[in-house]
Amino acid sequence: MQIGRKIYYEKLTGDVILITPEKFSGIATTKEQDFAMYEVLSIYNPESVDVIELEYGQYSSDFQTANSVRVDVQTGNLLFNYPVFEQPLSVKVNNLEAENTELKAQNEALQQQVADLEMAIAAILGGGM
């Protein structure tokens, strides 16, 4: 019998107290049995704790990837917090240096165009008088 994870959490805050592991073969336990078996649960008042029972394999990839999980006390849905994957700082610096070089070249080209336009305007205004 496949048994899914159980997520025990505080009813008021949604903070997760315990996530029991999935079992490929085993015996399903009750909330009362889990409170007797897991020390972390035994320090709580059972009335202040609720449990979400998942199917075997449900949210497996989320549990592997997420930093943490909590429960939305309004909806009872799980809220996973995922790590933010960023480029290494050295790659960011290299990209910014390349962008800076490109912007400098564009700026020089624009400055030259402005100078050429100023000369053309001066020639038109100077030659028309």
- Per-residue pLDDT of 57-108, as tens digits, reads 999 999 999 999 999 999 999 999 999 888 888 989 999 999 999 999 999 9
Per the structure block, which two tokens stand in for 125?
């205004």
What pLDDT was estimated at residue 84? Answer: 86
The overall average pLDDT reported for the chain is: 92
Helix (H, G, I), strand (E, B) or coil at 40: helix
- Residues facing residue 16 across a β-bridge: 9
- Band of the pLDDT at 118, cuts 50, 70, 90? very high
Q: Which amino acid is at 125?
A: L
Domain positions in the chain are 6-81, 86-129
Q: How far, in Å, are 5, 27, 29, 129 from residue 38 at the CA level?
A: 14, 16, 12, 97
